[in-house]
Structure 1
Amino acid sequence: MLKRVFTAPDPGRTRLRFALRAVLGITLAVAVCGLAGHSLIGAVTGGLAALLALFTVTDATVRGQAVTTALLPAVGLPVLTAAAELHDHPVARDLTFLAVVGAGVYARRWGPRGHSLGVFAFMTFFVAQFLHATTDRLPELYAAVLLSVLAAAAVRFGLWCYERRLPPPVVPAPPGGTGLARVTTRQAIQATAGAGFALVVGQLLSGQRWYWAVGATWWIFVNTTSRGETLVRGFRRLLGTVIGIALGLVVALPVHGDPAVTAALAALCVFGIFYTAAVSYTWMMLWVTLLAGLLYGLLGVLSPGLLALRLAETGVGALGAALAVVLVLPVTTHSITDAWIRRALRCVHACAVETARRLAGAPDADPAPRVAELEQLLARVRLSVAPLVHPLNPMLGRKRRARHVLDLLDDCAREIRGLVAVAADLARRPPGHGLPACGGRGRGPHRGPGHRRPRGRLARHGTRRTGPPARPGKGPGRTRPAPSRTVGLAPGGRVSRGWCASRG
């Protein structure tokens, strides 16, 4: 796991810049709150607001990110008001919290902006519980949120807007549907049910820190779709919390809330959260847990018993999420993986069609955006298949088939990238040079007389064939048949091996 975090590819050092910018933006936000004369609670509120503004906003364009960032206070301040007003009314407070949970998850149906606003609304209510916010503190908290979002925006869109030099990322839309067939609707109901369980049991464990259990349930549902994804994420959250608490005993507890040391360690935690988020959820949770311990030390309430209580509340939240996805309108892993794999295959075909049109001289043909979309879809396929290839998955047959499917998709994506690269070269050559299309179950234009075969498997296969090639066996002169042309992840789910129609 450690090797994976530090050796994971970081094209253009995007993760590094993401993390460094976050440290700069949050530091500026806390400094501005300090200069404005805010108390420690105001500074903590501002720092967390800046963290969310920099972490959760993921619109495809810089303009879209700016609009979403501007909308964050419009969603967060009313929720903060409700949390403070209901501080002394437990029943109304709890019901409102559950409503915010359901609405926040349901908002995903409106894409990245809905997701960002839903997360900010939930976390605003959560932070109000974390800091025991009351109505007399509202003016200070309002100012802290507004100043911090402005500071984060100044860094993100002014001082360090590296996105302006990057192409807009392609964000695949979640699976559609209507009513209870829509995944976001089912997840909203699941999250509300799981949070309700976590809230009740969490309050039995602690009348003061019950919100930890609700927070654990919420964050387990973030960026997951299927039952398997949610279960795996719950396991990783619990594991990251355990490691983070162990570090808290060694690092946060001896600090005793010293402001300078805590500030330096908090900056390190922020960097760790942002740098590891895209690579390992376990590592991200490790840094989140350590940051929470440092903040509690700064507030003067950190103790070994508090860290043990956090672990217990996290376990309750993970259990609530697991029960919800298993018992309440479950979204099966197979249905989600099947949907994403089909979309990836359709994108492969679209890439090939655009490549063929470019070779035919169509002035508007550009396969590059399709290739970028394919990369995003493949990342989503890997996420949805992750539960099947997880080491704890006892179904070995499905695990092998899932890995085989991933290998086939990676092979096909590699060939598509090769075709697009060759097409870019051949498009500048005289007429008569052709390139076969890939995608579409045995269909594609014929090769032209000047065809240059791309490297890789397309080059190795030599002549056209209708079946899978023989592969070398263990003994000399022996061969064994290649795997079947179809691979099923589950009964009824099949993925074609014959995706590339133009195999030499």
Structure 2
Amino acid sequence: MLKRMFVAADPGRLRLRSAVRAVLGIGLAVAVCALAGLALPSVVTGGLAALLALFTVTDRTVRGQAATTALLPAVGFPVLALAAGLHDHPVPRDLAFLAVAGAGVYARRWGPRGHALGTFAFMTFFVAQFLHTGLRQLPEVYAAVILAVLASSTVRFGVWCYERRLPPPAVPVLPGGSGLARVTTRQAVQVVAAGAFALVAGQVFSGERWYWAVGAAWWVFVNTTSRGETLVRGFRRVLGTLIGIGVGALVAVPLDGAAAPTAAVVAVCVFGIFYTAAVSYSWMMLAVTVLVSLLYGLLGFLEPALLVLRLAETAVGALGATLAVLFVLPVTTHATTHAWIGQAVRCVHRCTSEAAARLAGSADADPAPYVTELEGLLGRVRLSLAPLMHPLSPLRARKARARHVVALLDDCAREVRGLAAVAADPQASHDARLAAACGRVEAAVHALVAPPSATVAVEIVPVPQHHPGAEAALRHLHDLERALAELATPVRTSPRAPLVPA
């Protein structure tokens, strides 16, 4: 786990930039709230609001990110009012919490904006339980959220908006479907079931800290689509929390809420959350657990027994999520993986068509955005296959098949990147053989998935001499055709059948 975190690729140092900017943005938000004379619980609320604004908003464009960030208070304020108003009414409060949890997951059907707003809604209800927010505190809490969002936005969109110099990120989503065929609908039902279990079981452990179990169950479902992904994520959450409690006992307990050293360690935890989130959920949960321990120290509640209780509540939440994904409208790993592979293969076809059109002389054709999109889709394929490739997985045949699929898709990505690089060369020329090679790639795509809804017609004009650019493009196309043809075996046969090498 440690090796993976430090050797993981960080193209353009995006993880490093994100982590440093988060420390600056959240630090500024906390400072502004404190200078405004707000009470400590409100300052903590402001810091968490800034963290969520920087962590969850992932729209494709800077303008979209700004719009989503502006909508966060509009979603969070009514939920805060609901949580504060029901604070002393356990049954309505619990039912409202489950409803907000389900709605927060269902909102993911509307893409990154729905995901960000749904997460913010759930977490504002959660924070109200964490800080025991009542109706009297609402005006000050509202002020803290507004100040924090403005301060963090000043850093994100003003002082350090590195996204303006980068291509829009690829945000892959599964096809929608309708009714219970839609993954987000199934997950919303699963979250409510998992949350109900966690809520009841969590209150058995603690009548005051039960919300940790509900929060753990809810977060296990974030960025997952299949039961396999959710199970692995639940295990990693418990593992990260367990290690984080040990670190928290060594760091947060001795500090005992001392302001300056606590602030310094909080900054390290914030950096860790943002830097590790994309590569290791266990490391991220370690940082989150230490951060929570420090916050409890600032609020004067920290003691070793509380850390042990947090571990128990986390385990209860993970168990609730496990039971829900196994028995409530399960989404199989195979079905999810097949859908992601289909999207990746279609993206390969679009990359190929755009590159071929560029080589044929079309100034408007550009494969680069599809190469970026393909990287995001391959990340989703790897995430979906991770449960099968886990060292503890007993399914040896499916593990071998999953590794073979990932290797072939990596081959496809490598050839597509090479083809795009050739197409970007202004000296590359037309060659009649490219048309035939592209046709074979298209046939290989159609053998794997349904034909794309729209294809790019490419007319390659023959030239008497072969150009080195065309020769390189042909090599990439031939290797791409081979990888796609080999991919047909693991994709088209039963996932439980032994994999016979070609």
Alignment of 1:371-390 (within 5 A): 371-390=371-390
Q: 2:312 maps to what in 1?
A: 312
Q: Which residue of 2 aligns with 1:168?
A: 168
Instruction: Give the corresponding residue for 1:60.
Output: 60
Alignment partner, residue 441 of structure 2: 439
For 1:230, the equivalent position in structure 2 comes to 230
Residues 1:139 and 2:155 are matched in the alignment: no
Match of 1:450, SS? coil
Structure 2: how far apart are the matches of 1:336 and 1:379? 13
Count the aligned residue pairs. 481
Distance in 2 (alpha carbons) for counterparts of 1:420 and 1:497: 32
Aligned pairs for 1:163-242 (under 5 A) are: 163-242=163-242
Task: Say whether the 8 Å CA contact 2:359–2:429 is kept in structure 1.
Answer: no
CA deviation after TM superposition for structure 1 residue 375, in Å: 1.2
- Give the alignment's TM-score, normalised by structure 1: 0.90
In structure 2, list runs of 5 or more residues that go unmatched: 446-457
| Contact 1:101–1:218 (CA under 8 A) maintained in structure 2 | yes
Contact map agreement 1:338 1:493 (CA 8 A) in 2: no
CA distance in 1, matches of 2:429, 2:408: 34
Offset, 1:439: 2.8
Q: Which residue of 2 aligns with 1:400?
A: 400
Asked whether 1:428 is paired with 2:427, we answer yes
| Deviations 1:6-34 (CA, angstroms, capped at 9, x unpaired) | 12111111111100111111111111111
Partners of 1:455 and 1:429 lie apart in 2 by 9
Structure with a larger share of its residues in helix:
2
Decide which of 461, 466, 472 is 1:450's aligned counterpart. Answer: 466
Query: Residue 52 of structure 1 contacts residue 120 of structure 1 at CA under 8 Å; is this kept in 2?
Result: yes
d(CA) in 1 for partners of 2:271 and 2:390? 27
Supply the AA of the counterpart residue of 2:315: G
SS at match of 2:29: helix
Superposed displacement of residue 175, structure 1: 2.6
The verdict on how the C-alpha distance between 1:128 and 1:397 changes in structure 2, with shifts beyond 3 A counting, is same
Checking the alignment, whether the CA contact within 8 Å between 1:30 and 1:47 is kept in structure 2 is: yes
Query: How far off is 1:358 after superposition?
Result: 1.6
Deviations 1:248-301 (A, max 9, x none): 111111111111111111111001001111110000000000000000011111
8 A contact 2:15–2:275 mirrored in 1: yes
Contact in 2 for aligned 1:434/1:450 (Cα 8 Å): no
Distance 1:154 1:326 in 2: 44
1: CA distance, partners of 2:484 / 2:333: 30
| d(CA) in 2 for partners of 1:497, 1:356 | 33
Report the counterpart of residue 122 of structure 1 in structure 2: 122
Q: CA deviation at 1:392?
A: 1.5
Judged with a 3 Å threshold, the aligned counterparts in structure 2 of structure 1 residues 264 and 450 are, in CA distance, closer, same or farther, namely same
2:23 counterpart residue number:
23
Shift of 1:361: 1.9
Length-normalised TM-score, structure 2: 0.91
What is the rounded CA distance, in whole Å, between the counterparts of 2:307 and 2:391 in structure 1?
28
Q: Is the 8 A contact 1:401 1:489 kept in 2?
A: no
Q: Deviations over 1:325-366 (max 9, x none)?
A: 000000000000000101111111121111221222223221
Q: Is the 8 A contact 2:360 2:459 kept in 1?
A: no
The structural deviation recorded for 1:417 is: 1.3
Greater CA drift, 95-104 or 414-423? 414-423
Offset of 1:174 from its aligned partner? 2.4
Q: Distance in 2 between matches of 1:304 and 1:339?
A: 45
Amino acid at match of 1:441: A
Seen in structure 2, the aligned counterparts of structure 1 residues 15 and 356 have a Cα distance that, compared at 3 Å, is same
- Residues 1:2 and 2:2 aligned together: yes
Find the residue that maps to 2:490 and give its secondary structure: strand
Question: 2-side partners of 1:410 and 1:484: how far apart?
Answer: 11
Q: CA deviation at 1:492?
A: 6.5
Change (3 A) 1:137 1:416: same
Identity of matched residues, %: 67
Q: What is the one-letter code of the residue matched to 2:316?
A: V
Determine the structure 1 residue equivalent to 2:490: 487
Q: 1:340: which partner in 2? A: 340
Distance 1:379 1:373 in 2: 10
Tell me whether 410-419 or 233-242 shows the greater mean CA deviation: 410-419
The structure-2 alpha-carbon separation of the partners of 1:457 and 1:274, relative to structure 1 and needing over 3 Å to count, comes to farther
Q: In the aligned structure 2, how far is the partner of 1:165 from the partner of 1:228?
A: 37
Rate the CA distance shift 1:466–1:7 in 2: closer, same or farther, 3 A.
closer
Distance 1:201 1:465 in 2: 53
Structure 2: distance between partners of 1:394 and 1:366:
44
3-state SS, counterpart of residue 190 of structure 1: helix
Cα distance, 1:491 vs. partner? 1.9
Query: Following TM superposition, by how much is the alpha carbon of 1:312 offset from its aligned partner in structure 2, in angstroms?
Result: 0.4
CA distance in 1, matches of 2:484, 2:195: 52
Deviates more, 1:81-90 or 1:451-460: 451-460
Deviation at 1:488, TM superposition (A): 4.3
CA apart distance, 1:413: 1.1
